[in-house]
Structure 1
Amino acid sequence: MKYQRLAIPDVVLLTPKILGDARGFFMETFRQDEFVKHCGNYQFVQDNHSSSGLGILRGLHYQHKQPQGKLVRVTQGEVFDVAVDMRQSSPTFGKWVGEVLSDTNKRMLWVPPGFAHGFLVTSDMAEFQYKCTDYYAPGDEYALRWDDPTVGIAWPLTAGAPVLSAKDSAARSFKDCPWYD
C-alpha cells in the first residue's frame, strides 16, 4: 500500500498494490499495523455502505462531540470525495481537499476526526464503503453546506446542481457550524 499525504497533511490517500491476471485481481484493503504507522493509532468500530446515482451529493457530514475518522473507498462506480478541515487550531482550518475514488483506481481516503466529509457521484451509480472510528450518534450529527462560498469546493458538476437529501439541503454555512478546538 502506498500512503500519500495531501495538501492537508492529516488527510491521506491510500493506493493499494493490485495483483492481477486473467482470473481477476487481488488487493489488500486494510492492514492495522501499516495504517497506524502512516495515519495514526485509530481503531475502527463501524462499517457503512451506501449506493447512490449520478449527481447525488452526500455531505458534508461530521459529528462534533463524537468525531469520526473515516477510511473511505468506492467498490463500484466513481465519486469525487471531499474532506474539509473543521479544526480551529489547525493551519488548514476551513480548507478542503478532494480526490477521485473509483472501482478502477481502487484508491482509499483517510479522513481523520475533525473533518466534514462528503462525496459527489460522477458515474451512473456508485457503491461507497467506509470504516468509522466512532459510532454513529444521531443527536451529534452536523452538515456543512456543499456550496459554502467560504470553503469554495470546486465540485466537478456536469449536470447543474447536485441531488441532495432534505438534511443536506438544510445544511449550515461554514461560519454557523460548530468547529473543533
Structure 2
Amino acid sequence: MNILATPIEGAAVVELELREDDRGFFARTYDRAAFEAAGLEPAVEQCNLSFNRKAGTLRGMHLQVAPHPETKLVRCVRGAIVDVIVDLRPDSPTRLEHVAVELTAENRRALFVPAYFAHGFQTLVDDTEVIYQVSGAYTPAAERGLRHDDPDLGLPWPLNTTVISDKDQSWPLLSERPVSDFDPLPHVRSHTDDPRRRRA
C-alpha cells in the first residue's frame, strides 16, 4: 500500500498496490507496521458498514473527544463518495481547516482520519456502501458534531443534500458555541459506552 500525506498533517490517503494476474488482483488494505511507520494510529476496535440508498445522502460531521477519541480508516466499497474531514485538534495550526477526498469503488482509496477530526461524507451515486475501521467504541457522552453547512467552514459538498438525519441537521453552528467544546473532557463515565448504539 502507499500512504500519501494530505495538506493537513496527520491525515492521509491510502492507495492500494495491486498484484494482478489472470484471476484478478490481490491487495493489502491494512498493515499495522506500515501505519506505525507513517506515524498513524493503527488500532482497530470496530468495523462498521454504511449503506446509502440515494445520491446526495449526507452523514456527518462526527467526532469523539478524549478520553474516548477515535481514529478511522474510511473506504468506499460500492459506489462513490466525497469524504470530508475538519481538523479540530487543540492548538493545531490548521484547526478548522478541511480536506476533501473522492473515494470510489473504482479508485479503491481510503482516507485515514486522525483523532480530533470531524468526519462526514456525501454519496455521489445511489446504493453506495462505506466501510469504517474505528479505533474505539461509540461513547455518547464524548460525541460531538459540526454542521455540514456551517458557513464558517465552507465545506465542499458537490450535490444538494437529499437525505440527512435530524441529529446531523441540528448540530449547533460554530458561531453558537465555543471551539473549546471540542477539547478533551475531564471525565466521561465508562458505563456510557454502548457499541450497539454506534452512529454513522
1:85-138: CA deviations, max 9, x gaps?
012300000000010001100001100001100000001121100111111112
Is the partner of 2:37 in helix, strand or coil?
helix
Please report the RMSD computed on the Cα atoms of aligned residues, expressed in angstroms: 1.5
Is the partner of 1:20 in helix, strand or coil?
strand
Q: 1:123 aligns with which of 98, 122, 125?
A: 125
Q: Which residue of 1 aligns with 2:198?
A: none
1:5-55: CA deviations, max 9, x gaps?
111121100101122344322211001100111143431111111101311
Q: Answer yes or no: is 1:167 the counterpart of 2:170.
A: no
Percent identity, aligned pairs only, is: 35
Structure 2 counterparts to residues 8-157 of structure 1, below 5 A: 8-53=8-53, 54-65=55-66, 66-157=68-159
Q: Compare CA radii of gyration and give the structure with the larger one.
A: 2
Gaps of 5+ in 2: 185-200
Distance 1:41 1:81 in 2: 19
Distance 1:174 1:67 in 2: 20
Distance 1:23 1:166 in 2: 45
Distance 1:41 1:139 in 2: 23
Partner AA of 1:50 in structure 2 = S
Distance 1:161 1:15 in 2: 28
Gaps of 5+ in 1: none
Q: How many residues align?
A: 179
Partner AA of 2:28 in structure 1 = E
CA contact (8 A) 2:88 2:116 kept: yes
Q: Which residue of 1 aligns with 2:4?
A: 4
CA contact (8 A) 1:64 1:140 kept: yes
Distance 2:52 2:21 in 1: 30
Partner AA of 1:17 in structure 2 = E
Q: Which has the higher strand share?
A: 1
